Amino acid sequence: MKFIKLAISVIFVLFLISTSSVFAQETLKIYFFYGNGCPHCSAVEQYFEDKGLFNKYPIEKKEIYFNRENAVLFNSVMDDQNIPKDARGVPAVVFGNEVLVGDKPIIDGFISKADAYLHQTKEKTDSNPTPETIKNNESKDLTILAVIAGALVDAINPCEFAVLIILMTTILASGKAKKALLAGLSFSASIFISYFLMGLGLYSALGVGNVAQVFYKIVGWLAIILGLFNLKDYFWYGKGFLMEVPLSWRPKLKSLIHSVTSPAGAFSIGFLVSLFLLPCTSGPYIVILGMLAKKVQLIQTIFYLLLYNLIFISPMIVISYAVYEGFDPNKAEEIRQKRLRALHLTAGIVMLVMGFVVIQGWI
């Protein structure tokens, strides 16, 4: 019981951290986006230094040619300001809701624009946010809601339920409930670590070149396709293919799980089993990572991935504890079988909604 309370507390704390980070307001900050080797950027930087503007104004330099995090921020800011892609470039200076692009416009207009921006910022109050601030907050709010929704879809996935039930049945054959509990928790921990690391790896891969921008364009349609596939499993379960572990993989998967005899073994097997689970659990994860790679920087992505994967493994923790308290895993399998169609229906609806939200540009 203590472990369950601890897990819930960790999820709650991470949720608050992520949310507070999302809604943090970057007031009194002027972004100067530039690229190493860009002569026009150098001219602006020299102007700032000659006039002592770096000391007079809260200018934050962001190099985007070789720094992926800054490039993500740059495109996010440009998206917020509705700057078309063919009009984006460096040097660029952002004063809240206004953008100057090019060395001459910046040099000619920086001081007057910066003074006006800082004066307006000081007059703002939390009770009177600008329409742009509201718009940005709504977009970011939808991002964290999408992360939670995707994690919940993964958490109710029938694949992970089936794997954990087989594991618990195998360990319980020894007659030791505590051993089964530790094995379930160890297995859950390894799945968490595996998926977290895979998420970071894919996030980094999407940051190469312009991959994140291209991939984001297909994320919405991918979510809709996955949603339709899950709806197919609700109306025509077993017809064609399943959004579950492929049938041809299942014998090998069961043999791996049946080889587990200890919590340490469960922890080790969890990493291998996570590969078997990818075909039926990776869909929502990939959609979420596609959004994060384009919209969110690394530090915040880590919080999102921690939150996502804690939600993802929470049913595993609950089932492990329930079995420890005497719940029959065979009964759990009966419930899973009866609810298969409903689980696919829920997943299908959520994925369709997520896809629609992405395509509409609300995230």
pLDDT at res. 31: 92
pLDDT tens-digit map of 138-189 = 444 567 888 888 888 878 776 766 776 777 777 676 667 788 788 888 888 9
Reported as type and span, the H/E element at residue 59 is strand 59-63
- Judged by DSSP in three states, 259 sits in coil
- Which candidate, 331, 320, 274, 255, places its Cα nearest to that of 157? 274
Give the separation between CA 220 and CA 215, rounded to whole angstroms.
Answer: 10
Is 240 strand, coil or helix? coil
Strand 92-95 versus strand 59-63 pairing type: unpaired
Domain range 26-128, CATH architecture: 3-Layer(aba) Sandwich (3.40)
What is the per-residue pLDDT across 299-325, written as a single tens digit (0 to 9) for each?
Answer: 888 999 999 999 988 888 888 888 788
Q: Which residues is 93 bridged to in the sheet?
A: 32, 100
Angle at 57 (CA atoms; ends 52, 63), nearest 5 degrees: 85
Per-residue model confidence as pLDDT tens digits over 72-118: 888 888 888 888 878 889 999 998 888 999 999 999 999 998 888 88
User: What count of residues does the chain have?
Assistant: 363
As to burial, measured by CB atoms within 10 angstroms (0-12 exposed, 13-18 middle, 19+ buried), residue 5 is exposed
Quote the pTM value. 0.61
Compute, in degrees rounded to 10, the torsion defined by CA atoms 260, 266, 267, 272. 70
Q: Domain-by-domain residue ranges, the chain?
A: 26-128, 133-359
